[in-house]
A and B are shown apart, each in its own frame.
Chain A
């Protein structure tokens, strides 16, 4: 999932209207709508939950219920780069815990947290299905295999550089 920057939400409200209109009267599409919100907002803000509840005629409690049940949705904004370490069996057997520790050390945060500058979020993800090239991580849903603890510093540094560059262009 693309972690959206939380800075600019220009036009998102209008888009949300459109998405909700497309799913009008179909309560069973709630997960799909939330999927869209998570992807575009980077999380599901409270005010959006209220809008969804009203438009889809689903109780707010149900919306909250579904958001908190599924791993994919979050109530807190995520960082610009969402790093997830695969927590599957194959990755565990091939050293995923060491990869996670390296990221924790490098970023100074624990899983499910975001760095103070909103740059990085660290998380665990369920098996990506690329077990043969374990251990795997994913950065904004882009998978990377054959990870090694030594590579962690490099990756974080490269992402910081990339972000600086992007800021300059902006």
Chain B
């Protein structure tokens, strides 16, 4: 094996690609060639490193120096200074947002110090297109351990004991799901990976699929062994072409190396995997709708029961897990359930990946033990609010979640505590809103989303959400009426209780959350025709504005 004195890791996650990392990589390769360093320095494309806001990112090992916002023009100087002469290029280093001091090393990044990476352990560190780098990090060792000496029941118990819960939103105990599917009767069973990360503002699944696809493949094979399935599908949304490409490549490599296919590692276990690309529909994240879409049909949900564990894909028992959940499986098998369960709170164990977005200084992906106070996440890891504005609230759970107002910032980020505030951990979206954001406008935006994404199968969701949107639109245009609050509450209650699927039931959540925490602001729109945050255009010239 060739040995190199330095590795240049170029982040090629979606955000960095968006910001033009490929021309940067080309320029670095060119510079290396010009200085005849090809034999000494290896350039590796990795998945998302999680510091998306600072992209395009480059990390040079062995020192671990991180360069931010690198443009193609900067490549020459990185090569001639750092790679050739060993001098760090200071102007491209990340600077502390408060002190403006440069922070050269990746490991010293302030946002990293409180994080524990489990699901994201490899993303941004290995080359996702090279299975050998995954193996070098104990990749496929969990599969080997399971196949060479654990019974399916033992695997299920390990997952159950770890306390891992579905990271896609519902938070159902993963081990129990595996157990139900294992016990279900059926000659043919399926494992499905839900990669339809439809909630806007979250991107951990994309990051894992792009940066560490093998961890998902390995976990699916383990799940297949545990429930007795020899066939799996990964459903990825169409908006993630890069993830599909990396995953396709990884599946082919896994097949070539014998981790997929017939008689894996000589143990007699066989497992095959296929990709299904979605075609743009939020509702397909709902498990029964997702199954319909895999079968090539319109993705509309079905009433449950029967649950997919008993009657799923083509009527066969089917296990559906989300990407982040699956990526956490191999470390749990290798390090044991005790290790995983030692992190987090009593009922919410392990780590969770959150996507920090909105009006925050350091947006990106972070992975922390569950139960961390939200304040630490926002201020210590995220660096606080952009432009040092006043924090108004953090929106958890995206368009189907709710607000956590600034007063509740010390809430422990676990499933139970967040639910008490009337919102949910969901898939891990945390959007920061500041004093300049109008909650009514934002909630209206979510309602537009939910209306458009409603599949139309059940009336409460299809018609009810429309009516709610009409009311919200009217209010932002200064035509709100006194009874609108009451109507919104009634409609919300009705839809929550009668919609067919989880998405419909959760769609009124932002409205209820707004009425719970920001009622005065909403009332100001109706009674005073005034938008306190000065966002709603129709209300800007009202007399109350200047009063």
Contacts and interface: CB of A to CB of B under 8 A. Distances in A.
A70 B18 contact: no
Nearest to A124: B452
A64 B321 CA distance: 30
B262 interface: no
B14 A128 contact: yes
B239 A130 contact: no
A130 B200 contact: no
Interface centre among B241, B281, B296, B398 (most CB of A within 10 A): B296
Interface string B275-319: 011111110000000000111111100000000000000000000
A129 B53 contact: no
Contact of B357 (A29, A30, A72, A132): A132
Interface string A123-156: 0011111111110100001011110000000000
B382 to A, nearest CB: 11
B19 interface: yes
Nearest to A34: B279
Contacts of A141: 241
B25 interface: no
Interface in B51-66: 51-53, 55
Interface in A80-130: 87-94, 125-130
A136 B63 CA distance: 33
A9 interface: no
A32 interface: yes
Which of under 10, 10 to 19, 20 to 34, or 35 or more describes the interface residues of A? 35 or more
Interface residues of B, number: 55
A132 B279 contact: no
B517 interface: no
Contact of A72 (B52, B238, B455): B238
B296 A131 contact: no
A101 to B, nearest CB: 11
A89 B397 CA distance: 11
Interface stretch (B118-126, B344-352, B429-437): B429-437
Contacts of A127: 198-203, 239
B206 interface: yes
Contacts of A170: none
B187 to A, nearest CB: 19
A130 B363 CA distance: 10
A160 to B, nearest CB: 21
Nearest to B298: A69
A128 B280 CA distance: 11
B368 interface: no
Contacts of B299: 69-70
A27 interface: yes
A29 B296 contact: yes
5 contacts: A28-B296, A71-B280, A71-B281, A129-B207, A133-B53
Of all A-B residue pairs in the complex, the 5 with the closest CB atoms, nearest first, are A88-B200, A132-B52, A71-B280, A70-B279, A129-B203
